Amino acid sequence: MSEPPRTDSMRALWIEERRLSFRTDLPVPEPPEGEALVRVLRAGICNTDLELLRGYALFTGVPGHEFVGLVERGPERLLGRRVVGEINAACGACPACRAGRRNHCPTRTVLGIAGRNGAFADRLVLPVENLHPVPDAVETDAAVFTEPLAAALRIQEQVPIRAEDRVLVVGDGKIGQLIARTLARTGCNLTVAGRDDAKLDLLIDLGVRTVHPEGITDRAHDVAVECTGDPSGFPAALRALRPGGTLVMKSTYASALTLDAAPIVVDEVTIVGSRCGPFAPALRLLAEGEIDLRGLVHARYAIRDGIAAFEDAARPGTLKVLIDLEEGP
């Protein structure tokens, strides 16, 4: 498809007061020093975007943080290249940044989540250092999965997973599917718990053991990963752990989580919050065809139909919904 006409304004989806609208009057952003202007080709809706509509992070602006785009303004080495981008824009000078914890910079902005307009727009800006060229072998639709795949890989940076470990993933949705695919590569004793038979079938076809939540064996797992996007997932994951086990939290909730802390203390459970992960390994796995993405794209919408796309993404059983910004005006 041809590029939308270049004007002083652009199309975008906009969240304000928990309502989503389609706009055509937003100014094209001007990249500050050290940042690049990226024309968005494709962007994916994730559970965090849906939580923003429910009030998570009290966000007002353009949502979206899973994207592939073409660099229009930036360093010559990136001009015209497809890129994906890490979502945390850090100051680079604070103690957290100097210690290598840029994702936890206290003054950072986060693409489409906090203080920075996101990817459901014709164009976005990000620091040049956040951008990663997409290998030619990776199709644009597949490259949209770079950010959530990196988030899935983050688990193995935080928690060593051995072949003999009994690992439970609670949640069969968008991020759960990717977490299962990355953990399966470790050879661990993996089980995924979910309620949607069609989603579970995707994992069964890959040789992953699945159960419904009522089939989870309590106190039997070394590691449990909670990625349901629903507060009810936490107690299910906690009950599944043996004493001394590790619970990895991947869900973000708009509502507060209520928990009974006694089992955590008595069983000496380690809780690990897990967020953004490494882009380079994610791109390498995609380029080498090591992650099977078949069946994960549910639908594709033009940005003008973005409200319908969000409604579709929020329906039970829906996996990845893509916004295609190469569609017409």
Whether residue 221 contacts residue 168, with contact meaning beta carbons closer than 8 Å, is answered with yes
Mean pLDDT score, 60-89? 98
Burial of 315 from C-beta contacts in 10 A (0-12 / 13-18 / 19+): exposed
Q: In whole numbers, what is the pLDDT of the chain averaged over residues?
A: 95
Could you write out the three-class secondary structure of the chain? CCCCCCCCEEEEEEEECCEEEEEEEEECCCCCCCEEEEEEEEEEECHHHHHHHCCHHHCCECCCCEEEEEEEECCCCCECCEEEECCEECCCCCHHHHCCCHHHCCCCEEECCEEECCCCECEEEEEHHHEEECCCCCCHHHHCCHHHHHHHHHHHHHCCCCCCCEEEEECCCHHHHHHHHHHHCCCCEEEEECCCHHHHHHHHCCCCEEECHHHCCCCCEEEEEECCCCCCHHHHHHHHEEEEEEEEECCCCCCCCCCCCHHHHHCCCEEEECCCCCHHHHHHHHHCCCCCCCCCEEEEEEHHHHHHHHHHHCCCCCCEEEEECCCCC
Comparing C-alpha atoms, which of 231, 216, 225 is closest to residue 272? 225
Question: 7 pLDDT band (50/70/90 cuts)?
Answer: low
Q: Is the dihedral of CA 126, 119, 171, 134 positive or negative?
A: negative
pLDDT, average across residues 154-159? 98
**Is pLDDT above 70 for 140?**
yes
- What is this structure's pTM? 0.94
Question: Per residue in 312-321, pLDDT tens?
Answer: 999 999 999 9
pLDDT of residue 327: 74
Residue 320 to residue 326: CA distance in whole angstroms: 18
Mean pLDDT of 95-113: 96
Which domains, from first to last, does the chain contain? Answer: 9-145+296-324 (3.90.180.10), 151-273 (3.40.50.720)
The model's pLDDT over 200-256, given as tens digits with 9 standing for 90+, comes to 999 999 999 999 999 999 999 999 999 998 999 999 999 999 999 999 999 987 778
Contact in structure between 232 and 254 (CB atoms under 8 Å): no
On the question of pLDDT at 1 being above 60, the answer is: no
| pLDDT bucket at 119, cuts 50 / 70 / 90 | very high
Identify which of 69, 46, 41, 52 has the alpha carbon closest to the alpha carbon of residue 17.
Answer: 52
Beta bridge partners of 241: 221
